[in-house]
Amino acid sequence: MIEKNKVVSLHYRLRKDNNAGELIEETYNAQPLTFLYGVGGMIPKFETEIVGLNEKDNFSFGIEAKDSYGEFDETAIVDLDINIFKVDGKLDENVIQIGAMVPMKNAEGHRIDGKVNAITEEHIKMDFNHPLAGQNLHFEGEIIELRDATEEEIQHGHVHQEGHHHHEEGHECTGNCGSH
């Protein structure tokens, strides 16, 4: 049964709005989504909806935008000085183009991704909303496998997949090491 410190593997389809909405992504015909339940790695409402399910159980539920990636925030669209993006006085047009997602850092040094909305002589208009902000979501799928997490997985706060996770001597795991 899905509960805290269980490793959950599931297949899902994610659609806009409802079970008949536009398909956003799916894991069928690919690797299932595998995660450590109860450590904050998933949308909280998603975890609430699947708690207590067992292997082979199906699920189907909606999550409103406010409970997933938040409402669309107009203040997250900003004009940044074009010089921030220049290297040796030139703009890399292979990286900075309308529609491109560009990794950046916020004032606290955390990585955030911004979408290039417009390019002018002086500014790059960036949208730092999550791509699914303002979007109601609908998930449907099946629980494929459940297992108890190892002590190491619990300590690190994520799943270690066999053959893909190595800690170097002195390496401090912050929750994003290994493959997920």
List where CATH 2.40.10.330 sits in the chain. 74-127
Please report the pLDDT score of residue 109 as a whole number: 87
Please report the pLDDT score of residue 83 as a whole number: 92
Please report the pLDDT score of residue 176 as a whole number: 32
What CATH fold (topology level) applies to the domain 6-68+133-156? Chitinase A; domain 3 (3.10.50)
What's the pLDDT tens digit per position in 89-113? 888 888 899 999 999 888 888 888 9
User: How far does CA 78 lie from the centroid of its chain?
Assistant: 22
What's the pLDDT tens digit per position in 154-168? 898 889 875 443 333
Sign of CA dihedral 141, 142, 144, 149: positive
CATH number 2.40.10.330 is the correct assignment for the domain at 74-127: yes
Please report the pLDDT score of residue 125 as a whole number: 97
List where CATH 3.10.50.40 sits in the chain. 6-68+133-156
Are the C-beta atoms of residues 57 and 143 closer than 8 Å to each other?
yes
* Close Cβ partners of 81 (under 8 Å, ≥ 6 residues apart): 122, 123
Tokens of 146: 């459940």
Please report the pLDDT score of residue 94 as a whole number: 84
Strands (E), 37-173: 58-63, 77-81, 86-87, 90-91, 101-105, 111-119, 123-127, 137-148
Alpha helices in 16-142 (DSSP H): 44-50
**Which regions in the chain score pLDDT beneath 70?**
162-180
Please report the pLDDT score of residue 162 as a whole number: 56
